[in-house]
Chains A and B, each alone.
Chain A
Amino acid sequence: MTTLDVNTLANAKAKGKRPYFFDDPAVERVLSITMAVAGELAVTRERLDTVERLLEAGTPVTKANIDAYRPDDDAAQERQAWHAEYISRILRIVHQELEALQATDDVSPEELADKMAAS
């Protein structure tokens, strides 16, 4: 039997120099960790959804039943819609920056405050 350190080996890096996109690699590191945590919460949420659906159906909530559960088309759509909504929510600031790029008439509240005070 092979005894491999699965946790370490699953994390293996692909050969080749890794590109970093932010000016400071620390930003990338934190983003990566944040997305991993976000992913794990999504996993927990999907598991909770399965538990709720088993309970609703009167099926015993066992580990085996959770693993065997397959959503029907409607349930799958609801779960995928949740993922889409959730990802949209965690990436809010990026979308707001994109929106700001489209809105050319944004003024800063500080400038506005000065303007208001003057008049």
Chain B
Amino acid sequence: MAASLPPTYDRTAPNALGAKVNHDEIARFNFLTSVNVHLGTQLFPGTKLAFEQRVKPAFKKAQGREIATRVEVRDAMRTDPLYQTWAALRRNTMEMRQQTGRAIALRQLDALIARAKELNDAKPTLQLNPQTKIPRYISEVDNHCMPGSYYGELVPDDVSGPANYDLGVFVTGAGSMSARNDGGGRGVAKFVRERWPDFKPKRIMDLGGGIGSNTLPIAQAFPDAEVIVVDVGAPVLRYGHARAQAMGYDKVKFVQAALEDLPFEPNSFDWIQSTMFWHETSAPAITNGMKRIYELLAPGGMTLHAEQPNFTESTPLWEKFTKDWDAWYNNEPFWSKFHTMNVIDLMTAAGFQKDKLIEGEVVSDVEPGFYQPWAGSLSRHAPEKTNTAPTTRAWRGWYMFGGWK
């Protein structure tokens, strides 16, 4: 069977802040995207074969019992040559993506900063707080191998980190996050509108919303709502606010605050959303954060979180190992622990009633026409990949959990 091909990078929407990606940089991203697809679809299935055929039997022979935990699988796999190659290539491809994106952003940093300043100038919708304390779960490692993370600044008013992030998302998801990296947010907005057609939130918070790429589709779906992106990093908010302004979303607010110190009144939100946020936090952060969310929600309000699915009794060992890969090797340290936490228990401990909890699945919603007709959506992780209807191509969805107050 011929391998599916990802769309080309030039199909992405022009960068909202005007970052120019030249011919060779587009080609570099095309190469890296193709490597990711190759690793996910061609070599990754081989690592499972290596596990079944030689790693598992060797473990049993040495230990006198079956391999039983994902940590045992991880440690045993580290000795397998095929796995070593796949894993080294995958880590390396992520690093190359970061390098390519950073080079593009840094080369034109003066222009990007000037453009952001012009768009952000004296706007009350951007509220930065230099006193914000960066939590340890963010400051100890740079999440998903992104140098400088969401908060690092090389120069005053820096936006190079988020510019790199915005430029490179395409590569890791092989285009599955749509033309503006907003496939998640588009999917969430669709999910909410379809499931609760009468839901009319007046005030929405996107917690850990970063550059707001997943927030803007929600603002678009609920144009009468006050929409607030909250994040701990000043650079992502500076960039995100300017990006939103440039895209015509001039009412969306960007507020700098840590989850541990959210500057809002109790009972003041109708919807508190997070999209791929909790796995970058910690156990105390999610436990206390959920309680705070319950407090901030107005009666009849709703919270919804798009995240990694939790492991259950029936999750196969191999799947646990592969789903934890990013925790161990892509600087997502809490991802692994999060997989084992019972979010339903967390929600009820925070005050939500069991009969008012929400569960579901959301897929990235890709803009019609973004893909060339021959292109496929291919994640770097083959098992996460499913092609759905012809107009919306998506990798397998995120787990959605939440509740009504």
Contact = CB atoms under 8 A, between A and B. Distances in A.
Interface of A: 1-2, 4, 6-7, 9-16, 18-23, 27-28, 31-32, 35-36, 38-39, 42-43, 46-47, 50, 66-67, 69-71, 73, 76-77, 79-81, 83-84, 87-88, 91, 94-95, 97-98, 101-102
Contacts of A10: 99-100, 102-103, 106
Contact of B43 (A6, A15, A73, A91): A91
Contact of A102 (B7, B49, B98): B49
B103 A14 contact: no
A98 B92 CA distance: 20
A100 to B, nearest CB: 10
Contacts of A80: 5-6, 8, 30, 34, 375
A101 B140 contact: no
A87 to B, nearest CB: 5
Indicate the member of B37, B88, B140 with the most A CB atoms within 10 Å: B88
19 contacts: A12-B102, A16-B140, A19-B87, A19-B328, A20-B88, A21-B84, A35-B92, A35-B93, A39-B96, A42-B28, A50-B23, A66-B23, A73-B372, A73-B374, A84-B5, A88-B42, A91-B43, A98-B43, A101-B82
Contact of B35 (A22, A23, A87): A87
Contacts of A11: 99
Indicate the member of A46, A80, A88 with the most B CB atoms within 10 Å: A80
Given A10-B102, A66-B23, A98 B147 contact: no
Contacts of B145: 14, 16
Contacts of A32: 88, 92, 95
A84 B81 CA distance: 23
B373 interface: yes
A48 B109 CA distance: 29
A43 B31 contact: yes
A36 to B, nearest CB: 7
Given A16-B141, A36-B96, A47 B27 contact: yes
B102 A88 contact: no
B154 interface: yes
A4 B154 contact: yes
Given A14-B141, A31-B88, A32-B92, A88 B38 contact: yes
Contact of A16 (B53, B88, B142): B142
Contacts of A76: 7-8, 10, 372
The 9 closest A-B pairs by CB, nearest first: A16-B141, A46-B27, A10-B103, A14-B142, A83-B34, A12-B147, A42-B31, A80-B5, A98-B46
B24 interface: yes
A21 B28 contact: no
Nearest to B26: A46
A83 to B, nearest CB: 4
Contacts of B83: 21
| SS of B interface (majority) | helix
A101 B49 CA distance: 8
Interface in B110-156: 110, 113, 140-142, 145-149, 154-155
A55 B312 CA distance: 58
B354 interface: no
B199 interface: no
A5 to B, nearest CB: 9
Indicate the member of B32, B38, B50, B140 with the most A CB atoms within 10 Å: B38
Interface in B296-332: 328-329, 331
A66 B145 CA distance: 32
B49 A31 contact: no
B62 interface: no
Contacts of B140: 15-16
B257 to A, nearest CB: 22
A15 B142 contact: yes
B226 to A, nearest CB: 35
B78 interface: yes
Contact of B374 (A38, A77, A101): A77
B46 to A, nearest CB: 4
Given A67-B22, A87-B35, A88-B42, A79 B109 contact: no
Interface in B368-382: 372-375
Nearest to A65: B23
B5 A94 contact: no
B283 interface: no
Given A43-B28, A69-B23, A80-B5, A2 B109 contact: yes
A69 B24 CA distance: 11
A1 B372 CA distance: 40
A44 to B, nearest CB: 8
A47 to B, nearest CB: 6
